[in-house]
Structure 1
Amino acid sequence: MPRIFLAALALACVCFPAVAQAVATAPADTTSVTLSAAPWIALLQEIVITAVIPAVAAYAIQAIRKVYPWAALFLTQSRVEQMANAVTEYAINAVPGAVKEGKLSINVGSQVIAKAVQRAVDAAPAKAIEAAGGQAGLAEIVFRKLNLEDDANEHNTLAPVIASLPATAR
């Protein structure tokens, strides 16, 4: 109830000068009073500009803050996947004996992984490599993307590549 009273009081305080001006400027010899809508529209515009727009902007900023971490995570994962796909395709095309559709042997798989990681170091932004877990993390992602022979595993295909990486890159 007090809010309604305060709102009515504020409206009366704001509207009274406009009504008083309209009455005061009316010619004395007429018996009718004409109110113009222009002051009301200007008042409404001022209220919207000073109160409504900042409130809507505050709610929008709050919503963006809540969504930002999820959006950033999604974009980072998407960027890492794109980079991993690109360097894997490059490495398969660059290593002799590597074929896209067939299975790769242990030696060729290790060469493809090493070539893919080197390509990422040469061409990709450092932040993308860091988001992938460094060079070792990227090597693991590329390893998972490859179609390897049945006897190829993490120990005989991936481990030699990670061991050959510089100690600062692991």
Structure 2
Amino acid sequence: MMHRIRAGLALACTSLSLAALAEPAAARSATDLAIPWGDWLVGLLQPVTAALVPLAAAAVTAGIARVAPWAASVLTRDRIEAAIRAGAEFGQNAVAGAARGRTVGVDVGAAVVAAGARHVLATAPAHVVRKAGGPEGVAARIFRALPLDPQASAANVLAPALTQLREPDKRPA
């Protein structure tokens, strides 16, 4: 099928160029033979561009369709990482006894993780939270992003943070 389309396109281009050359030559006398290159070129390029512009648009659209899933996954991953960084910073700023730039102790680690996760859950788009693994995934990512004391572990920081996250917020409004 593609071979027939190519053959037809080649035949059309050849006949157009011959017709463009023959018509001005037949109108003039044999001694005064001048080829109007500008008119001939415009006459040839109009049908060619009419055929090539839709093909180029289809090629660009196909290229975008192939790149779109990859670009969407990269952008979503960047959004997740930005939300986790913001949650970690928020948790460090919101909890007394924790400061940004310093290691987080085991005693305040769970509160920092829970506060950061609540912040991400409240501010990030739902699809970003889903891609991050839901509330538990967000808390686990914040736990891994924090500079914790060497004594900190998932058992003594992340597990209590998940418990705090599942409980309703008891802070005064």
Partner-residue secondary structure (3-state), 1:165: helix
Q: Is the 8 A contact 2:16 2:44 kept in 1?
A: no
Identity rate of aligned residues, in percent?
32
Taking the aligned partners of 1:97 and 1:84, their CA distance within structure 2 comes to: 20
Equivalent-residue separation in structure 2 for 1:66 and 1:159 (angstroms): 41
Question: CA contact under 8 A between 2:88 and 2:142: conserved in structure 1?
Answer: yes
| Structure 1 residue 127 corresponds to structure 2 residue 106 | no
> Unaligned 5+ residue runs, structure 2?
168-173
Matches within 5 A, 1:80-99: 80-99=80-99
Structure 2 counterpart of 1:151:
151
Task: Give 1:105 shift.
Answer: 2.1
Equivalent-residue separation in structure 2 for 1:5 and 1:80 (angstroms): 52
Using structure 1 for the length normalisation, give the TM-score. 0.80
Question: 1:71: which partner in 2?
Answer: 71
Q: How does 1:105-120 map to 2 (within 5 A)?
A: 105-120=105-120
1:47-69 residue CA offsets vs partner (Å, 9 max, x unmatched): 44223233333333333333222
- 1:144 CA drift (Å): 0.4
RMSD between aligned residues:
2.7
Distance 1:9 1:117 in 2: 66
Structure 1 unaligned blocks of 5 or more: none
Of residues 17, 20, 45, the one that matches 1:18 is 20
1:58-91: per-residue Cα shift (whole Å, max 9, x none)? 3333333332222221111111111111121111
- The answer on whether the counterparts of 2:118 and 2:165 sit within 8 Å (CA) in structure 1 is no
Q: Is residue 98–residue 108 contact of structure 2 (8 Å, CA) maintained in 1?
A: yes
Seen in structure 2, the aligned counterparts of structure 1 residues 7 and 137 have a Cα distance that, compared at 3 Å, is: closer
- Letter aligned with residue 43 of structure 1: G
Instruction: Pick closer, same or farther for the CA change 1:110–1:24 going to 2, 3 Å.
Output: same
Aligned residue pairs total 164
What residue in structure 2 maps to residue 141 of structure 1?
141
Corresponding letter in the other structure for 1:161: A
Please give the alpha-carbon distance, in whole angstroms, between the structure 2 residues aligned to 1:87 and 1:144: 12
Structure 2 distance, partners of 1:94, 1:78, is 24
